[in-house]
Every structure is written in structure tokens, then in C-alpha cells.
Amino acid sequence: MAALSGASVIVTGCSGEGGGGGNTGLRFANRLRMPPLAESSRDADGAKRFALTLQSGGRSEFLPGKVTRDTWGINGAYLGPTVRAARGERVRMAVTNRLPEASTLHWHGMRLPAEMDGGPHQMIEPGATWTPEWTVDQPAMTSWFHPHPHERTAMHVYRGLAGLFLIDDPRGPRLPSRYGVDDIPVIVQDKKFDGDGTLDTGGVDRGTFGLLGDTILINGGYDPFFTATTELVRFRLLNASNARVYRIGFADDRVYHVVAGDAGLLDRPAAVDRVKISPGERAEIVVRFAPGESVVLNSRGEPAKAANDIEEDDFDLMKIVASARPAAGEPLPAKLGGPGPAAVPPGARVRQFFLTGSEINDRDMDLTRIDDVVPAGAVEIWEIDNVTYAHNFHIHEVAFRILDLDGAPPPPYQAGPKDTVFLPKKAKVRLLVQFGGFVDPVNPYMYHCHLLRHEDKGMMGQFVIVEPGTEDRISRTIPAAHHHG
């Protein structure tokens, strides 16, 4: 790790290799796009009401001078607004589908009743509006939303349907928190464009990993720069790519701090010079900038190239330009308030999952089959054993801790609450999973690989949360009529 220095470091030009897909020749010509905050209104009972419309036919200018037609977005041409709610608040959603086909909207990272989850059982037909509501009752975090239609998730996300959902907790630690000023969303996606700017979707449903793009968009914008007007900036990194894995850091390899993982704050800031995030994962980082400096945020492939083509390429992501007199920030708190070391309760039930090419425990996803029945409030150990090439593993509704990865404890920045974990090829991970308390023996939650091509191919299972003691009486079959209701 290089020491933090005030020197400005600008890397331009291509620095070689990168497995053919990388792009390190950006000019940083465009101001970073900031997803707007979603508008809301208050219902008489105090609930916060949001209207989200899934729409097609967007015209987006990603590449200079080229119009990309038919991008998809939520309340806009591409991506969605940032939804924000505080812990304890009730939210009431109206999700309208103006797409040419059925879809869903899943609240990734949200603890809520299964019927509100927006998985493949909560399909919204074209023209219809779906109205889930729930009370936000979980720690502050960066969560997100995206469609989850059976076998169609990769295409819907790739075309542009995704957005951030920030959960605030006023009792949390003091961190940079002025949205768009010193609290900055960074939604990372790789795309492929044809020469005329058309979004190339041909590879989305093909190959081992689906589409791997050679062009990076940040918040739906190409070739961005961000002007830092404060010494400390929080970036909320979200990997909303279909398959790519990023190792995010800076061109000068400066040390910065991770303050939160997928599902909430760490115990204390973790010093790093790179964080690895696979599709669906988030990391909140706080970075210090010296007056007037410029530095490039980038992704660097695994040096060992041990893994495979989803984590090999090098990309520049954006340039940060610090203003000449940035506003002084408060120092990072030593304690952030996240949970301490994970403690395994005696007798915790162990479940095992084997990941093969695109199956879990040798089974393909079946919408009518309940794979696992979990008692409400359970804390279980889930052992995920990846016997093939790279995958990751996401569980709806829960927060988990990584107990170990290939027998070793996770790096401190991944030791906090999470909901998605990367498994390099042949890796094995043990998770301590905390389940919630919304019982519903009929409506399942999902667990799956979040490489969207794999998810669509059926690398997904379903679990229900039930009243403790009733596990044996729960039907393992969902009536076929139910799953489009």
C-alpha cells in the first residue's frame, strides 16, 4: 500500500493486458451523473409513498454524439432514482409496469414479508401496478432494487432497470452524508455498444457468464469525473453489472476506509487499498482528498489471474478532482456501531449447498418447489461449496456474516453484515445467517447466484420462513396457480 500523499496522480493511456476487455483510456470528460432522489409524499398515516414506473423506449446518450435507443429505466430513460427512507418509517410503493413484457421489482437487501419482496412470484403484467408496503426495520445501509422475473432478470437489468435504496438511521455515526455533495452513489456497470451506439444485448443470454462488456458506465454515464468539494467523501459502490467482478481502488494505490458492506456498517473502519465487489454487492468507502489533487478511481484485475475472465480485466472508472480549498471534514469515527465478531450459537443448524455449472445441489430452479424451510428468527450456518468456476451467492431477506472463506477469516472489510458473497472457482464459504420473523408458509424468498446469466439459467432455490415447530408440516410444493397471483 502506498502512503497517502498530496501529489496528483493522473493515469492515462492503456496500461496493457487486461484480458482484452479492459478500458484504461478514458478522458474523464463528463460530469458524474447523480441519480435524482425519488420524490415521495406522505399519506395520512405517516407512510412515505413512492411511485416507480418501469419504462422502455428511453433515448440515452452514453457515448459522445451517439444516441442509444430503447434503454430501460425507472422514472427515466436509464436506471432509477435513489429511494431514501429512515429506519422505522413505513414505505408504500406503487410500481407500474410500462414495459412491453411482465417484470417485477425486487428490494435487494430489504427485510420484509415475502409477498412484498418482488421476486419471481410477484410478477407485474404490462400496464399493471403493484403496491407493496412495509415498515423499514433494519440498520442503515445501501440497498438497491432491480427486476427479478423468472429467466429474464439479466436482460431487464442490462437494459437499465436498477436503482439505489438508502436506509438512514439518525442514531448512526457521523459520516459524510450530503447526497450528491460528499455522499456519492457509484453504480458500476459494464456494457457493450455497437459502433452506432446501440446497446449490444446479444451476449446477455449466452456463454458461461453472459455478457461481459468493455465499456463502463457509472450511474449510467460514460467517462465521468467528479469534483470533490470536501476533504472526505463517502462513495457508495454498487456492482450492478451482470457478471463482472471489480477490485476497486485508486491509481496511486492510496489507502482509504470501508465503513459498510452490503447490509450495514462495520464495527470499525477497515483500511484497504482495494475492495472486491461482485454483482449485487455494495461497499461504502470514505476517501480523503488533498486540495487540488486529481486521482483516478479504477478497477484492477486479480494479479494472479487465478480466477477467470470475470475478474481479470483492468478498467478506469472515473477521475476525482479535488477543489483547491475543500471543506474540512470531521475525522472518521473510530467505532461505527456495526456488530462485533460473529458469534455462532451452539447447535446452529448447518445447511449445505453445492454450486455446479448452473445448479444448486444438482437442481434447477423450480417455481413450484420449496427447497428449504426455515424457522422464524433462526441463526443458521450455510456452507456454500463451489465445485466449478466463479459464482456468487445472495440470500433474500437475511443479513449474514462470513465465518470463513476457504478456511480463513474474511478480510476485515467483508466481516460486517452482508447479503451477497463472491465465490471464486472451487471456493468454499461458511456463512452465519440471521433470518427474520415474517412467517409465510406459502410465499418463498429466493437464494441464488447473482451472476444474472446463472440466475436466469436456474441457479436459484426457494425458502420459506415459518412458525418455529411447524417445519415438518409445511408443504414443499407451491400450487401452480399461486405463482402468478
Residues that bind ligand C2O (CB under 6 A): 106, 108, 146, 148, 280, 394, 396, 446, 448, 450
Compute the distance between CA of residue 257 and CA of residue 269 in angstroms, rounded to an integer: 6
- Stretch in the footprint of Cu ion (CB under 5 A) among 139-147, 311-319, 342-350, 443-451: 443-451
Cβ atoms of 285 and 427 closer than 8 Å: no
From 433, 449, 460, 465, residue interacting with Cu ion (rule: CB under 5 A): 449
Contact partner at residue 451 from Cu ion, ligand C2O, none, CB < 5 to 8 Å by partner kind = Cu ion
- What is the DSSP pairing of strand 372-375 with strand 460-466? parallel
Task: Work out what residue 272 binds among ligand C2O, Cu ion, none; the CB cut-off runs from 5 to 8 Å by kind.
Answer: none
CB of 463 to ligand C2O, least distance (A): 12
Tell me how far, at minimum, the Cβ of 204 lies from ligand C2O, in Å: 16
Residue closer to ligand C2O (CB basis): 391 or 394 = 394
| Residue 152 contact among ligand C2O, Cu ion, none, beta carbon within 5 to 8 Å by kind | none
The three grid cell numbers given for residue 161, joined into one nine-digit string: 432497470
Cβ 280 to ligand C2O shortest distance, Å: 5
User: Letter for the amino acid at 47?
Assistant: A
C-alpha angle 374-380-382 in degrees, rounded to nearest 5: 100
Residue among 156 and 254 whose Cβ is closer to ligand C2O: 156
Alpha-carbon distance 134 to 115, whole Å? Answer: 10
CB of 442 to ligand C2O, least distance (A): 19
Identity at 333, one-letter amino acid code: P
The phi-psi region of residue 98 (left if phi > 0; otherwise alpha if psi is between -120 and 50; otherwise beta) is alpha
Residue bearing cell 480485466: 313
What is each CA distance from 7 to 25, 228, 291, 389, in whole angstroms?
A: 21, 16, 10, 41
Closest contact distance (angstroms) between CB of 467 and Cu ion is 23
Site string for Cu ion, 337-376 (x = CB under 5 A): ----------------------------------------
Q: Identify what 93 binds: Cu ion, ligand C2O, none; CB under 5 to 8 Å per kind.
A: none
**Amino acid letter, residue 126:** P
Q: Which of 391, 418, 448, 457 binds Cu ion (CB under 5 A)?
A: 391
The widest CA-to-CA distance across the chain, in whole angstroms, is 67
Give the number of residues in contact with Cu ion, rule: CB under 5 A: 6
Nearest residue to 28 (alpha-carbon basis) of 324, 314, 320? 320
Distance CA(170)–CA(18), nearest Å, equals: 43
Whether 274 contacts 296, CB under 8 Å: no
C-alpha distance across the termini of the chain, in Å: 54
DSSP-derived secondary structure letter, 298: E
Q: Is 108 in the site for Cu ion (CB under 5 A)?
A: yes
92 binds, among Cu ion, ligand C2O, none (CB under 5 to 8 A by kind): none
CB of 143 to ligand C2O, least distance (A): 9
Interatomic CA distance for residues 100 and 285, integer angstroms: 38
Annotate 139-184 with three-state secondary structure. Answer: CCEEEEEECCCCCCHHHHHHHCCCEEEEEECCCCCCCCCCECCCEE
Q: What is the rounded distance in angstroms from the CA atom of residue 441 to the CA atom of residue 443?
A: 6
| Interacting partner of 384 out of ligand C2O, Cu ion, none (Cβ under 5 to 8 A depending on kind) | none
For residue 240, the minimal CB distance to Cu ion (Å) is 12
Q: How far is the CB of 422 from ligand C2O (least distance, A)?
A: 14
Nearest approach in angstroms of CB 445 to Cu ion is 8
- Please, which residue, 35 or 173, has the CB nearer to ligand C2O? 35
> Toward Cu ion, which CB reaches closer, 123 or 184?
123
Nearest distance from C-beta of residue 152 to ligand C2O, angstroms = 13
In the complex with ligand C2O, the residue whose CB is nearer, 220 or 280, is 280
* Binding site partner of 257, from Cu ion, ligand C2O, none, Cβ cut-off 5-8 A by kind: none
Report the partner that residue 448 touches, choosing among Cu ion, ligand C2O, none (CB closer than 5 to 8 A by kind): ligand C2O
234 touches which of Cu ion, ligand C2O, none (CB within 5 to 8 A by kind)?
none
Contacts of 443 (CB under 8 A, 6+ apart): 113, 114, 115, 117, 121, 464
User: Which of 33, 396 has the CB closer to ligand C2O?
Assistant: 396
Residue numbers at the binding site for Cu ion (CB under 5 A): 108, 391, 396, 449, 451, 454
